[in-house]
Amino acid sequence: MLLLIQYTLIFASVLTLVALGGCISEHSGVINLGLEGIMIIGALGGAFTLKYLPPEMPSFLILILVLLASMICGLIYSLFLAIACINLKADQTLVGTALNMLGVAAATVIVKSVNIAENPDNVSSTVQYVQNKKALVANIGSTQFNLFIPVAVLALILAYVLLYKTRFGLRLMACGEHPQAADSVGINVFKMRAWGVLISGMLAGIGGIVYITAGVSEWKFEVGVAGFGFLALAVMIFGQWKPVNIGLAALLFGFFRALSNVYSGFDFLAAMKIPGSVYNMMPYIISLIVLALTSSRSRAPKAEGIPYDKGSR
């Protein structure tokens, strides 16, 4: 049971971070379907940082540097979405899909190139970070507590304050609801939307490193992140684009994802003889059911996905 709780919290942390990123981007008016690709690039930056930092470095400093590396990589990769969709007014769905495909391919090529440079016989797309992975957990008695969990909680609080308690957040949401009205009172819609996308990239980048370090000490980048970017979008929609609701929805989806990791440890689940692949499918099946039942009541930002034209009214 304790292991189930641990995995539920860590997967909920991933979903919370990435869904918050999607939420902030959509509140600005840009649909970020490239969360999956941004997660992969953020995970790549964090994994290499974990691999090459000296093990004798203080654990807290390792954690901070890994977070910064993932944030920066996610931010840089999200620039492609910002430039294409805001400046060039490209189709946001197509650009996001392209970023997802490019993210896996680019990460695979980069990792293989680095591995071959270090060892010509190593052509894998795997990054090992076993030495420094211990810096990401704290031992409380006989229990290991993942330090990324409080990071996700802090991000949830900051997102709520940012959106509802600051001038920046209110302006950001105005750009996603009625950009023409926002522009008429002097708000730079293009700038606010760019900030929304970049913040989204930073959060998704952190979500990527949290996901790949959840239970293993190495990651094969050609496998991607198993659709977690799209699952985070389902969490965002189910949470009605509200940070608190997103956190609660992430716990629900995280629980079903955690079952696939620990089902064999529960006698009553193991006795049912259900293949492990079914448990792996459960969060995605649940997302389809939940969205089918709640989509009619969903209220997305009115101007999301619509390129802003200063001449339109």
Q: What is the pLDDT of residues 132-180, one digit of tens each?
A: 888 888 877 667 788 999 999 999 999 999 999 999 999 999 999 999 9
Given this model, what pLDDT does residue 196 score?
A: 97
Compute the average pLDDT of residues 106-120: 95
Give Rg (Cα) of the chain.
Answer: 20
pTM score > 0.85 for this model?
yes
**Does 303 fall in a domain?**
no
In a domain, 308, yes or no: no
Residues ≥6 apart with Cβ < 8 Å to 260: 276, 279, 280, 282, 283
Q: Could you tell me if residue 313 is inside a domain? A: no
CATH of the domain at 195: 1.10.3470
Q: What is the pLDDT of residues 200-222, one digit of tens each?
A: 999 999 999 999 998 788 999 99
Domain that holds residue 185: 2-297
User: Model confidence at 2, in pLDDT bands (50, 70, 90)?
Assistant: confident
Instruction: Count the domains in the chain.
Output: 1
Task: Report yes or no on 91 lying in a domain.
Answer: yes
Q: With 60 as the cut, is the pLDDT of residue 186 above it? A: yes
- 147 CB burial (10 A radius; 0-12, 13-18, 19+): middle
Question: Residue 73 to residues 37, 103, 153, 208, 224: CA-CA distances in angstroms?
Answer: 11, 11, 22, 10, 16
Confidence band, pLDDT 50/70/90 cuts, at residue 313: low
Whether 252 is covered by a domain: the verdict is yes
In a domain, 255, yes or no: yes
Highest mean pLDDT among 6-10, 262-266, 289-293: 6-10
Instruction: Answer whether residue 44 shows pLDDT above 60.
Output: yes
pLDDT beyond 80 at 191:
yes
Residue with tokens 């060892």: 119
Percent of the chain's residues with pLDDT above 70: 94
Residue with tokens 């997103």: 246
- pLDDT, position 130: 86
pLDDT mean over 290-307: 84
Task: Quickly state the pLDDT bin for 105 (edges 50, 70, 90).
Answer: very high
Supply the pLDDT for residue 257: 87
Q: Is residue 8 part of a domain?
A: yes
Residue 83: inside a domain: yes
